[in-house]
Amino acid sequence: MKKIAAGVLVMCLLLSVSGVFAAAPERVIVVFHDNPDANLVGQYGQVERTFHIIPAVVAIMPEEAVKALSKNPRVKYIQPDIIQYVTPMQMSVSAEPLAQVLPWGVDRIDAELAWSTSTGAGVKVAIVDTGIDMDHPDLVANIKGGFNAIAVKGKYRDPDNFDDDHGHGSHCAGIVAAVDNSIGVVGVAPEAWLYGVKVLSNSGSGTTTDCIEGIQWCVDNGMDVISMSWGSTTYDQALNDTCQAAWDAGCVLVSSAGNNGVETPDGYPSAYPSVMAISATDSSDNIASWSNYGAEIELAAPGVSIYSTYEDGGYTTMSGTSMACPHVSGVAALILGAHPTYSNQQVRQTLWNTAEDLGTPGWDIYYGYGLVDAQAAVV
Ligand code: CA
Ligand code: CA
């Protein structure tokens, strides 16, 4: 597995900082070598918040202040805030089926054949996204909590309200753990515990600072799996460091490779070393034409015309690597249900070792180690 040369990219990012900041003060992330010092940063700009998952302070400050503060030996680097976004390729809101259906993706990865061994019961899966429809009848039994990271800036008032006002997060949640009952759909791990971590607004976009806040919550609250169906094409050292810290804390991190149809690394956080990058397949096992591919792809999963839960109690069909990602997050939950003592590295290794090899034999740039296989993964 070839991963990015982080040091070189950091330098590129730092060198580009002076070009990023215009005359108006901008939001920056000041990352310290050791302890984050809000008082120090406050001498240069308006402090918004302090993180502990990485030693960082978020502040609004002018370009000259960024230059001056960068010279402080306690400061490791300063980077701009970056926009992150979901990228579903298409969607069509559908009527609820008359009886529960087994979506083709759940069927294709043989999740239903794994349930006699594991349903992912009690495994904590964070859907870090636009939120989750908190009272969706096909999700509510599995929703155990969550957090609205955007609320810390006052845009949404209640940090405990992670209700989905976009639909994307609810769709991903249903792929992981829609309830096995008489209605709607059923997820890959139908008894996994869902946590809605809202980091993206009703436009489906958000910022690196809110995403760091959300991932920090995941670590603080003992999430087992962090599912991230979003990203940007910009390398982002603070998000990379945050994902690494979550990995070091024991979390399994899964993310969509991106929908630009290009050889990567072009999608972050999926390309960061601590995160599994997932490409998307159709029902004939072909990689979707718009799916990113490249050196960081670890697994492929169903991502074309995926039917799942939606906001306001609804159901819809969406396509994207955004949909492939939660299939893998669900299988990770199944593995942890079968093997509660597994480390995140053991879960990752199991996913690699049990994937159904497709394309050229062995690991390749389109399928990674292959199509995720739920049944094989829980043996
Ligand atoms: Ca159902
Ligand atoms: Ca292969």
> What tens digit of pLDDT does each residue of 151-171 get?
766 667 789 999 999 999 999
Give the range among 62-76, 82-96, 101-115, 322-336 with minimum mean pLDDT: 82-96
pLDDT band at 16 (very low <50, low <70, confident <90, very high): very low
What does the pLDDT read at residue 217? 98
Q: Note the pLDDT tens digit of each residue in 174-191.
A: 999 999 999 999 999 999
Q: Note the pLDDT tens digit of each residue in 214-242.
A: 999 999 999 999 999 999 999 999 999 99
Question: Would the CATH topology of 19-81 be identical to that of 84-377?
Answer: no
Cα(98) to ligand 1 centroid in Å equals: 11
The predicted model scores a pTM of: 0.92
Q: Where are the domains of the chain?
A: 19-81, 84-377
Tokens representing 65 are 């202040």
Ligand nearest to the CA of 367: 2
Ligand nearest to the CA of 352: 2
Cα(201) to ligand 1 centroid in Å equals: 26
CB 78 within 8 A of CB 17: yes
Cα(359) to ligand 2 centroid in Å equals: 4
Name the phi and psi angles at 8, rounded to 5: -65, -40
84-377 has which fold?
Answer: Rossmann fold (3.40.50)
| pLDDT greater than 90 at residue 26 | yes
Strands (E), the chain: 26-32, 46-51, 56-61, 75-80, 83-85, 90-94, 124-129, 143-148, 193-198, 205-207, 225-228, 252-256, 263-264, 276-281, 293-294, 297-302, 306-309, 315-319
Q: Write the DSSP symbol of residue 87.
A: -
| pLDDT greater than 60 at residue 19 | no
Give ion ligand 2 contacts, CB < 5 A.
357, 359, 364, 367
Cα(2) to ligand 2 centroid in Å equals: 16
CATH superfamily, domain 19-81, is Peptidase S8 propeptide/proteinase inhibitor I9 (3.30.70.80)
Q: Strand, coil or helix: what is 5?
A: coil
CB 188 within 8 A of CB 109: yes
Cα(354) to ligand 2 centroid in Å equals: 12
Give ion ligand 1 contacts, CB < 5 A.
100, 138, 179, 181, 184, 186
CA gyration radius, the chain = 20
What does the pLDDT read at residue 88? 66
Ligand nearest to the CA of 362: 2
Cα(300) to ligand 2 centroid in Å equals: 10
Catalytic sites, residue numbers: 129, 168, 322
